[in-house]
Amino acid sequence: MSTEMSMGGTVADGPRGTDPADGLLAALRAAVGPAHLLVDAGARAAYETDWTGRFAGTALAVVRPAGTDEVVAVLRACAAHATPVVPRGGGTGLVGGAVPLGGEVVLSLERLDHVGPVDVAGGSVVVGAGATLAAVDRSAADHGLAVGVDLASRDSATIGGMVATDAGGVRVIAHGPMRRQVLGLEAVLADGSVLRRIPGLAKDGTGYALPELLAGSEGTLAVVTAVHLRLVPRPVATTVLLLGCADVADALGRVAAARRAGTVLAAELVRDRGVRMVHQHAGVPLPLPEPLPPLLLLLELDGDPDRAGRADALAALVGDRPAAIAADVADARRLWAVRERHTEAVQRLGTPTKLDVTVPPAAMAEVLAEVDRIAPDAVVFGHIGDASLHVNLLDAPPGLDEQVLRLVAAHGGSIAAEHGIGVAKAHLVHLTRDDADVAAMRAVKRALDPTGLLNPGKVLPPDPPGS
């Protein structure tokens, strides 16, 4: 049997005269039961593409195990038949990480969706990797708690996928990204051994922080099967406002002022043309009268608008800028829709190339101006609270994405703020990671997955010729 996985999904060692895939399919059927092995093209299709439709491939089969033991059995069967595995959560990733490249087995975690009892005193919960963010957050809400990360894809994105991508979202300014919410996790390594770090502890310095290593590994180092999540206090009431800003410096200044005045739960940036796009293509009312200011800053602050002293604080924050302040929950939802429905509205215009970048705050104005110059039709919005921007390119000529990412790298930014690298940017990792860094990542990959069973072609740049 070959020791390296075949990207074409060749199945080794089949008996003479039979399809070599038959042995693997039989083993997978035994592992998960016939109802949860999908081999027909129609049944596989939903697992072979991503949310944007930009990435698609063909899998040998899709398996839907029901628990950790079945995940172990699937990985052992695939290893024995030298067939690579693509772990998959909700399929909302935006960089093609959960999409097969050709012939792999897609391992869907969707049936590992249990949500354990909330530990109210400790502020945590243990959940299956396939539980959606919305389901876990609903359970936490019953106890006045919340998941510290929130995304517009909350109804489909899974906790396992969010850990695997180290998801960010709109609450990073308050609680940090997904890896900060992980107290512990359970994961199956490529050789079928199970890493058990549940329950996790708030402090545990016993050796390497393996759960942290797996956060952001995009299914290339292990299959996450369960997560012990830290929960955060759920705000009893919040104040949501949308503020017109003259330029980036003005917007950054308002974020800093809001942080000095209290807890900022979200700070999001949209632009006038993006707001018009959301109005036109997603039916969201314009939040301010025309002419819209060039930049609009959405702030969500802890505490309701009627709390003592808030009116004065808000007046100071707003100054003479145009602003809409939500009077009630429905109003707040309307203002949030202006930001959250950008992704959906962009999608209606075509299949976008979605870039998520972090830009040092001091360079943000210059980067934005240069993006406008090289990609005048780009739709840019994002999480200004943590200096990350989404650059959506529509009908982009070949190479434009790389041009934007080179620009970001040249200004000391990151080419992968929160969506991960996936297949989309694996060839561009060198833009912000030097040779020593890439060599260390390859060494980690080799140590945990020596045969390249897990998600080949994702995250790491292709091997240099002759290696």
Ligand X SMILES: Cc1cc2nc3c(=O)[nH]c(=O)nc-3n(C[C@H](O)[C@H](O)[C@H](O)COP(=O)(O)OP(=O)(O)OC[C@H]3O[C@@H](n4cnc5c(N)ncnc54)[C@H](O)[C@@H]3O)c2cc1C
CB of 86 to ligand X, least distance (A): 6
CB of 161 to ligand X, least distance (A): 2
CB of 427 to ligand X, least distance (A): 16
CB of 166 to ligand X, least distance (A): 8
Site of tokens 């005193």: 121
For ligand X, the closer of residues 100 and 293 by Cβ is: 100
- Residue 395's contacts (CB-CB under 8 Å, 6 or more residues apart) are 350, 377
For ligand X, the closer of residues 161 and 303 by Cβ is: 161
DSSP 352: P
CB of 441 to ligand X, least distance (A): 15
CB of 339 to ligand X, least distance (A): 10
For ligand X, the closer of residues 97 and 148 by Cβ is: 97
For ligand X, the closer of residues 250 and 386 by Cβ is: 386
- Within 148-237, strands assigned E span 182-188, 194-196, 223-233
Find the helix packing angle between 329-340 and 342-349, rounded to 10°: 40
CB of 282 to ligand X, least distance (A): 11
For ligand X, the closer of residues 164 and 357 by Cβ is: 164
Q: Tell me the three state secondary structure of residue 301.
A: strand
Residue 292 backbone dihedrals phi, psi, to 5 degrees: -70, 145
- Residue 295's contacts (CB-CB under 8 Å, 6 or more residues apart) are 244, 245, 246, 247, 248, 250, 251, 269, 270, 271, 272
Contact footprint for ligand X (CB under 6 A) = 51, 86-94, 97-98, 109, 129, 151-153, 156-158, 160-162, 164-165, 167-169, 218-219, 223-224, 343, 418-419, 422, 455, 458
- Nearest C-alpha neighbor of 341 from the set 235, 389, 270, 396: 270
For ligand X, the closer of residues 250 and 449 by Cβ is: 449
Q: How far apart are CA 467 and CA 463, in angstroms?
A: 6
- Nearest C-alpha neighbor of 400 from the set 364, 459, 360, 353: 353
CB of 51 to ligand X, least distance (A): 4
For ligand X, the closer of residues 103 and 168 by Cβ is: 168
> Which tokens in the block code for residue 389?
């921007």
For ligand X, the closer of residues 101 and 367 by Cβ is: 101
> Which tokens in the block code for residue 390?
């989404």
Rounded to the nearest angstrom, the gap between the alpha carbon of residue 139 and the centroid of all alpha carbons in its chain is: 21
CB of 133 to ligand X, least distance (A): 8
> Which tokens in the block code for residue 347?
């999608």
CB of 162 to ligand X, least distance (A): 4
The residue length of the chain stands at: 467
CB 212 within 8 A of CB 227: no
For ligand X, the closer of residues 418 and 449 by Cβ is: 418
Q: Tell me the three state secondary structure of residue 137.
A: helix
Q: How far apart are CA 255 and CA 239, in angstroms?
A: 14
For ligand X, the closer of residues 98 and 243 by Cβ is: 98
CB 324 within 8 A of CB 242: yes
CB of 15 to ligand X, least distance (A): 32
CB of 263 to ligand X, least distance (A): 20
For ligand X, the closer of residues 151 and 190 by Cβ is: 151
- Nearest C-alpha neighbor of 57 from the set 98, 95, 94, 12: 98
Residue number, nearest CB to ligand X: 161
Pairing of strands 223-233, 182-188: antiparallel
Site of tokens 């314009």: 286
For ligand X, the closer of residues 57 and 422 by Cβ is: 422
Q: Tell me the three state secondary structure of residue 133.
A: helix
Q: How far apart are CA 419 and CA 425, in angstroms?
A: 11
CB 218 within 8 A of CB 165: yes
